[in-house]
Amino acid sequence: MDLSIDFDQLEGTMLAGVRMVAFIVIAPPFAYKAFPGTVKAMLAMGLAVAVAPRAAAGYHALGTGAFIVALLVELAVGLGLGFLVYLVFAAVQSAGALVDLFGGFTLAQAYDPQSQVNGAQFTRLFEMTSLALLFASGGYELIIGGLARSFDAVPLDGAFSLSSPVQAMVTGTTQMFLSSLQIAGPLVVVLFLSDIGLGLLTRVAPALNALQLGYPIKIGLTVMFAGALFMALPGVVSSLTGDAVTLLTGGR
């Protein structure tokens, strides 16, 4: 019995697998440490086999040196795409950090080894909520679909300009800060105005020492108005998912 191996298809699948593995290692929600590494590797290989007919179309086997270079390129591309998605969803974490900072929760800062988030209560709570919303809403499927379409923007055997990834990272970083301010902005303004009010009250009645009441008042305001932020998080995560898919596909 003759066994024929299509080395073009095999190499293309391997290169696609490298991009998938590098992406899953760094991109949310797949980078969550609670997911076993074996599951991540199986998911990456399964996705590589699924996209191989599309990604490896027209691909031709390379020599040893060129293939090693191609592996490194795909590793860099996968890490870059994963970092772009991480930047987009880091807006939710940054919004939680702003709430912790202005609400006085930063004294309870701790490191979560599973999500690899170093922050106080709202930082970690926002991170876990966005992760749950990604799976509950099917946003992770859109991210996987965007990753599959990234082979059209950055093919396995095609050259691409370095200006596009750099521009995408600049855009993603800017969007992260803007989105975090949009998410946490209303509550931050309320907490800032409460600080101003307490300062004015201290100037009017120094004996009252109103600044001692600052922490319980700000914590109460934060807990009271945080519900409004959680009501808006599903729409925020949906919008961020669309932005992540746009970055993955190069705007296609």
Q: 114 by DSSP, 3-state: which?
A: coil
pLDDT tens profile 8-53: 677 777 888 888 888 888 888 787 777 777 888 888 888 888 887 7
pTM of the model: 0.75
Give the span between the Cα atoms of 251 and 150, in whole angstroms. 10
Tell me how crowded residue 140 is: count the other CB atoms within 10 A of its CB: 17
CB atoms closer than 10 angstroms to residue 204: 9
pLDDT digit string, tens, across residues 58-101: 667 667 777 788 788 888 888 888 888 888 788 888 888 888 87
For tokens 């209560």, the residue is 121
Q: Where are the domains of the chain?
A: 7-248
The phi and psi torsions of 104 (rounded to 5 degrees) equal 85, 20
The answer to whether 247 and 88 are in contact (CB under 8 A) is yes
> Taking residues 180-207, what's their average pLDDT?
76
* H or E segment and range at residue 112: strand 110-112
DSSP code for 27? S
Rounded to an integer, what distance in angstroms lies between the CA atom of residue 147 and that of residue 72? 18
Question: What is the pLDDT, as a whole number, of residue 160?
Answer: 57
Could you give the CA distance from residue 235 to residue 114 in angstroms, rounded to a whole number?
Answer: 25
The pair of three-digit structure tokens given for residue 140, joined into one six-digit string: 């992770």
- Cis amide bond preceding 28, omega within 30: no
